[in-house]
């Protein structure tokens, strides 16, 4: 991409990482060598330590570069940047440990220097990059470092992309739209809309174009060749978006098939080894959790039995698993058993308060004081303890710890166009849970489930589980229930 600002940002990141690493190992040396009175494994002078750190930092920065931490788009995925920093720091420490074994001597004067160095290196580089991201977004607001984009095509994707690129924090500016039809794009000046590429190239200086994004493949191949040749001649970044972007909703690989470039679309990583890793993780965690939490299971079951002697302790409901397989989902009972199988309207009629049905629906299927819920059930829902028996579902293989929301039979028809969701196991928690559950519309929950299925990774599961723990804790703290 021909953009000096991108190179400048990459250089600033490189210098910032270098200074952060220098500070990290300086702090590690001061804390362990200067402030700690315990004996050292290997006495070392300050100059000797500086020489060792200098070699280590060069290797460390090379690893960061190979991981893509100095690419222009590194800020677009915060989680990926976080993981790459963690991996890079870990590889740097492995290099240090490997050097000690190869040299058969301690490189650093004490083991804690290595531990401190790794910890400070990760934290300080992460802190610096967080500040750099904030500064970069601030500069974008003042049109500094903006990436000028020329869109080519007259499809719905063109309009969607033009609207998305308007977000100032992304650092893009649409300077022209080329298309056969003079579509009136929202908030796009007619003066930057052109009927053909030649007119746009004549009006806009090549030096002012940093990226060309083609959203439509023209029937006349000469027109496509003209655009690509222009980008190559002037060293302008070029991207092509297929007209039917629904075919590319999963992860993709570009490779050769019998010598012909092809795009392979992977709708989900939850097949093959990905599925095996996820199942092993589910089995390990659910087994351990069932063992460690067994006293809580017994206490809740006993409390439920004593508070409602005529009702069952466990509530079961038919749900759908992968490939339309039915299973019984288990929860601790939080609702009086006599209301099982009734609609809210029927239940409130039985209670003698039919007016509550309207309030229930108006509040998004929630009531502050739902008479169908037992006193113990209110506590169980606020603390999510009612969902503990689902760990048994995970152990059995009906559910996963993380996944799309378990569906009931009536909801299946709403997912007819999103069958990829139905090809993986539902989960106890998921992106929809940590994003607000019922506080977000159904369609938004479905999009979150689709995103999870198409972008699954082991680390994504870890992040969702950690956020779920925080979500449950905060909800219990504020006395809220779903």
In the chain, what are the domains?
A: 4-141 (no CATH), 147-248 (3.40.50.720), 273-335+373-477 (no CATH)
Sorted by sequence, the CB contacts under 8 Å of residue 209 that are 6+ apart come out as 148, 149, 150, 175, 234, 236
- pTM listed for this prediction: 0.59
Give yes or no for a contact between 264 and 253, defined as CB atoms under 8 angstroms apart.
Answer: yes
What is the CB-side half-sphere exposure of residue 459 using CA atoms within 13 A?
8
Of 64, 213, 226, which is closest to residue 153 (Cα–Cα)?
213
Q: How far is CA 279 from CA 329, 403, 456, in A?
A: 18, 12, 13
Give yes or no for a contact between 424 and 451, defined as CB atoms under 8 angstroms apart.
Answer: no
Q: 339-375 b/e with 16+ CB inside 10 Å = b?
A: beeeebeebbeeeeeeebbeebeeeeeeeeebebbbe
Beta pairing class for 427-429 and 400-402:
parallel
Give yes or no for a contact between 256 and 262, defined as CB atoms under 8 angstroms apart.
Answer: yes
Judged on CB neighbours under 10 Å (0-12, 13-18, 19+), 441 is: exposed
Cα–Cα distance for residue pair 265/253, rounded to 1 Å: 7
Of 348, 459, 402, 472, which is closest to residue 77 (Cα–Cα)?
459
pLDDT tens by residue, the chain, 482 residues: 445 667 778 888 999 999 999 999 899 888 887 787 777 666 767 787 788 888 888 988 999 988 888 886 666 677 778 888 888 888 887 877 777 667 666 666 677 878 888 889 999 999 999 898 888 888 888 877 788 889 888 877 887 788 778 775 677 888 888 876 555 555 556 667 788 888 888 888 887 888 899 888 887 888 888 888 888 888 888 888 766 555 555 666 666 666 676 766 666 778 778 888 899 999 999 999 999 999 999 999 999 998 887 889 999 999 988 878 899 999 999 999 988 888 888 988 898 888 888 888 877 677 878 899 999 988 998 888 999 999 999 999 999 999 998 888 777 777 665 567 888 899 999 988 887 555 677 778 888 888 888 888 888 899 899 888 888 888 777 666 65
Q: What is the pLDDT of residue 286?
A: 95
Rg (CA), the chain: 29
C-beta atoms surrounding 204 within 10 Å: 16
Q: What is the pLDDT of residue 393?
A: 96
Sorted by sequence, the CB contacts under 8 Å of residue 314 that are 6+ apart come out as 330, 331, 332, 333, 389
DSSP state of 406: P
C-beta atoms surrounding 451 within 10 Å: 13
Alpha helices in 240-293, H assignment, sequence order? 273-292
Name the β-bridge partners of 237: 211
- Can you read off the two tokens belonging to residue 290? 């069932």
Of 202, 116, 212, 134, which is closest to residue 172 (Cα–Cα)?
212
Q: What is the pLDDT of residue 109?
A: 65
Give yes or no for a contact between 426 and 403, defined as CB atoms under 8 angstroms apart.
Answer: yes
Three-state DSSP class for residue 263: strand
Of 332, 469, 323, 452, which is closest to residue 397 (Cα–Cα)?
323
Of 182, 180, 177, which is closest to residue 158 (Cα–Cα)?
177
Cα–Cα distance for residue pair 202/376, rounded to 1 Å: 73
């Amino acid at each position: 991409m021909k953009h000096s600002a991108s190179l400048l940002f990459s250089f600033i990141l490189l210098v910032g990482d270098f200074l952060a690493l220098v500070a990290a190992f300086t702090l590690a040396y001061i804390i362990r060598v200067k402030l700690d009175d315990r004996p050292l494994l290997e006495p070392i002078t300050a100059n000797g330590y500086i020489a060792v750190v200098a070699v280590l930092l060069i290797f460390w920065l090379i690893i960061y570069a190979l991981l893509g931490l100095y690419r222009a788009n590194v800020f677009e995925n915060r989680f990926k940047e976080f993981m790459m920093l963690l991996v890079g720091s870990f590889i740097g420490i492995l290099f240090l440990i490997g050097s000690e074994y190869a040299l058969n001597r301690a490189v650093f004067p004490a083991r804690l220097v290595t531990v401190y160095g790794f910890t400070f290196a990760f934290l300080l580089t992460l802190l610096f990059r967080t500040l750099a991201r904030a500064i970069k977004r601030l500069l974008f607001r003042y049109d500094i470092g903006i990436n000028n984009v020329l869109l080519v095509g007259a499809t719905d994707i063109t309009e969607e992309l033009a609207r998305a690129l308007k977000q100032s924090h992304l650092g893009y500016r649409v300077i022209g739209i080329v298309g056969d039809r003079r579509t009136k794009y929202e908030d796009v000046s007619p003066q930057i809309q052109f009927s053909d590429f030649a007119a746009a190239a004549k009006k806009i200086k090549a030096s002012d174009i940093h990226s060309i994004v083609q959203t439509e493949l023209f029937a006349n191949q000469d027109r496509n060749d003209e655009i690509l040749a222009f980008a190559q001649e002037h060293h302008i970044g070029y991207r092509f978006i297929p007209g039917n972007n629904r075919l590319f909703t999963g992860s993709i690989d570009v490779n050769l098939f019998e010598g012909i470039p092809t795009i392979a679309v992977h709708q989900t990583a939850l097949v093959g080894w990905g599925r095996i890793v996820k199942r092993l993780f589910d089995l390990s965690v659910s087994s351990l959790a069932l063992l460690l939490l067994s006293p809580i299971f017994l206490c809740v079951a006993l409390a439920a039995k004593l508070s409602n002697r005529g009702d069952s302790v466990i509530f079961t409901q038919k749900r759908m698993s992968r490939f339309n397989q039915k299973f019984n989902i288990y929860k601790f009972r939080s609702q009086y058993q006599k209301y099982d199988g009734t609609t809210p309207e029927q239940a409130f009629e039985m209670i003698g308060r039919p007016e509550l049905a309207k309030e229930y629906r108006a509040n998004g299927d929630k009531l502050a004081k739902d008479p169908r819920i037992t006193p113990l059930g209110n506590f169980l829902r606020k603390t999510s303890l009612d969902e503990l028996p689902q760990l048994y579902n995970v152990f059995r293989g009906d559910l996963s710890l993380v996944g799309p929301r378990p569906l009931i039979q009536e909801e299946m028809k709403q997912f007819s166009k999103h069958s990829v969701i139905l090809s993986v196991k539902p989960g106890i928690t998921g992106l929809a849970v940590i994003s607000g559950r019922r506080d977000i519309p159904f369609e938004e929950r479905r999009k979150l489930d689709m995103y999870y299925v198409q972008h699954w990774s082991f680390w994504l599961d870890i992040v969702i589980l950690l956020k779920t723990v925080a979500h449950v804790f905060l909800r219990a703290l504020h006395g809220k229930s779903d």
